[in-house]
Structures are given as structure tokens and as C-alpha cells.
Chains A and B, each alone.
Chain A
């Protein structure tokens, strides 16, 4: 019936396109929701743990999350100043 109407009308129905676009977009947006809080929390706790042993610049701790279709990756990038072993030795 729909196909027949479409043939007569000469135009493809656009609602299925709308539906598909929305489903893809919202799956992505729902994934992002609440994520800043999670990353902030992870960053703060990682920073606290590492800082116990190494003197760090808090600005140099980067936590990033990439969401894939099947798996996501959590990337933690911590820049450690040279000579941190010395500060460690001093602490011991």
C-alpha cells in the first residue's frame, strides 16, 4: 500500500529516513550523556593515586574515552617530569 502510494506520488517516503537518522544520533548522544562526570571522576582518582608516588602537574593528566560500536577505549595520558625518581627516592 505504502509502495503503491509512493509510486503514484513519485516521491520516496521520508519518515523512515528520519527514524533511522534519529536512532543513530540518539544512540550517540545518550552515550555522551553523563560521560563528562565519569571522566572527571576517573581523572581525579587517577591523579590522586599517582600523586602519592610521583610529583605531577595536574594539567598533564589527560583522560579520554572513545566510544566504538562494539568496544570503547579509555585512554589515560600522564606526562611525568624527568627526575621524578629522585623525588621518589627523597620521599623514601
Chain B
């Protein structure tokens, strides 16, 4: 049975697109057939993060308006044969998206894929509400920072009221994914802790992605971090998150506090 999963946050810049690419690739690496959809109409970026920016011909809006067939708009990943991308339109605006149009695309994709990942735009307007509209599950990407946590809380409220599942009296299964987590700063009391965030949001934890250069490096070269550097700490954290999505019980790895000597820091700075 296909699962529709929305990657959302309310706030911008917390790592929705990076996480959609990493989770999508990780699911595909585990043998699942996956499509990732970019809902950020007018500001598409999932194509760029996944390294498919030069292969976009048709997009989500073309399919909604019947200009192109779904099969024409889907882009197959060059590295993973069971990973596909449905890009957003860069030239149209979000009003071109309709509830019926999106519903039909999702229904079509359900017959062909194991996972449909919807990369939500920031905000709480049309693009974001349509990205979550047909979701069975939700990943709420949160940074350990007050504005991100507040916006996540707002989005959780919307997932519980504005989705098709909520309207039918069913539940959207929600998971918090904490990104850009810096253990050292949390230990010093400079950053909200995992416990603080989970207690405030009252939503189960899917994973903790440590702040890492590997994430930026991966998007620089257009490759999801789980593919680009599978042994890196963020890649392992995304892989664990995906195993949890697939129903496995995986021990939560809290990123360790790195002890860096002065010399070590100096060298690292030069290397970067």
C-alpha cells in the first residue's frame, strides 16, 4: 500500500528540501519505489538539490492543467532507478494548483509507488496546505530554535484539522525530525534540547540530524547526503529515520558532543 508523506515545517530554511531529498533517496536505497514531489511552485529547488535541474521538461502544474501526462513529467534519478522526481513549476504561481488536480495526481501515483514524498513550501498558504492535504504521514522538520518550534506547533494543528484524513476523523501520523542539531551548544544550554522540543510539541521523534558540513557539501554537488557520503553522521541519521518510517525499531543516536582541541579547531577551519 502506497504511503503519502508530507515533509513540512511552516518556517523556511529549516531543511525541508534537503530532508525530502535525503529521505527519498534513503527509502529508494532500501529498495522502495519512491517519488518526491516539489510543491514549492515558483521557487522550485528539489530538482537542484537532487541534481536533476537540467532534466526538467514538464512540471506539476503542466500535469494539473492537462498540458502533459504524469509519465512525461516524472524524472527518473540517474543513480537510483527506483527514485523519481516530479518538479514544481518555476514560472507559474501557486494559484495554478488546485485541490482536485493534486488529488488526482496523488491518486494516480498511489497505484505506482510505495512512497510519495511531498516537499512542502514554507508558510501556511495554498502550496503548503495542498502539500499536506492528502498525506497519510507527516515529517515536521524542526530546528532547535524558538521560531521554528512555534511554527511547527502551528503546522501540527493544521495537520490535525485541514487534511483529508483529519476531515474523515482519521489521524495523520506525525513525526518530528530535528535538523541542524548541535550537541555541544545544547549541552552548554545555548540551544533548546531534544527533550524540550519533544515535550513542547508532544509529537514522537523520527530522528536527529546533526549540524554538519556534509549536508551543504551534498547540496552543492546535487546529490542527496545519503548517496553522496553514506558514512557521514547526517546520512546515518537519515538512514535510521527511514528505517523507523518503515516500522523498524532503531535506537535513537544522539549526536555526541565533539571534543575539539584548540589546534584541532584551527586545522579544521583551514581545511574548510
Does A19 lie within 8 Å of B192, measured CB to CB?
Answer: yes
Known contacts A19-B200, A22-B200, A34-B161, A14 near B150 by CB under 8 Å = no
Q: Of B146, B153, B192, which contacts A29 at CB under 8 A?
A: B153
Does A21 lie within 8 Å of B153, measured CB to CB?
Answer: no
In the complex, chain A residues whose CB is within 8 Å of the CB of B150: 22, 25-26, 29
Does B188 lie within 8 Å of A18, measured CB to CB?
Answer: no
Does A33 lie within 8 Å of B146, measured CB to CB?
Answer: no
Secondary structure of the B contact surface, majority rule = helix
In the complex, chain B residues whose CB is within 8 Å of the CB of A21: 146
In the complex, chain A residues whose CB is within 8 Å of the CB of B153: 26, 29-30
B78 within 8 A of A: no
A6 within 8 A of B: yes
Secondary structure of the A contact surface, majority rule = helix
Distance, CA A25 to CA B157, complexed state (A): 15
In the complex, chain B residues whose CB is within 8 Å of the CB of A13: 188-190
In the complex, chain B residues whose CB is within 8 Å of the CB of A51: none
B153-192 interface code vs A (CB 8 A; 1 in, 0 out): 1100100010000000000000000000000001111111
B27 within 8 A of A: no
Number of residue pairs spanning A and B whose beta carbons lie under 8 angstroms apart: 44
In the complex, chain B residues whose CB is within 8 Å of the CB of A23: 200
A2 within 8 A of B: yes
Distance, CA A26 to CA B196, complexed state (A): 13
How many B residues touch A, CB cutoff 8 Å?
A: 18
Q: Of A14, A25, A26, which contacts B190 at CB under 8 A?
A: A14
Does A15 lie within 8 Å of B191, measured CB to CB?
Answer: yes
A1-44 interface code vs B (CB 8 A; 1 in, 0 out): 01001100100011110110111011001100110000000000
B98 within 8 A of A: no
Distance, CA A22 to CA B200, complexed state (A): 8
Distance, CA A5 to CA B190, complexed state (A): 11
B228 within 8 A of A: no
Does B149 lie within 8 Å of A15, measured CB to CB?
Answer: no
Known contacts A22-B146, A30-B157, A34-B161, A15 near B200 by CB under 8 Å = no
A40-60 interface code vs B (CB 8 A; 1 in, 0 out): 000000000000000000000
Q: Of A6, A22, A26, A29, which contacts B189 at CB under 8 A?
A: A6
Does B193 lie within 8 Å of A15, measured CB to CB?
Answer: yes
Distance, CA A26 to CA B189, complexed state (A): 21
Contacts A22-B192, A23-B200 supplied; 8 other A-B pairs, CB < 8 Å: A5-B187, A13-B190, A14-B190, A15-B190, A15-B191, A15-B193, A16-B189, A22-B150
Can you offer 19 A-B residue contacts whose CB atoms are under 8 A?
A: A2-B189, A5-B188, A6-B189, A14-B189, A14-B190, A15-B190, A18-B192, A19-B192, A19-B196, A21-B146, A22-B146, A22-B149, A22-B150, A22-B192, A23-B200, A29-B154, A30-B153, A33-B157, A34-B161
Interfacial residues, chain A to chain B (CB-CB below 8 A): 2, 5-6, 9, 13-16, 18-19, 21-23, 25-26, 29-30, 33-34
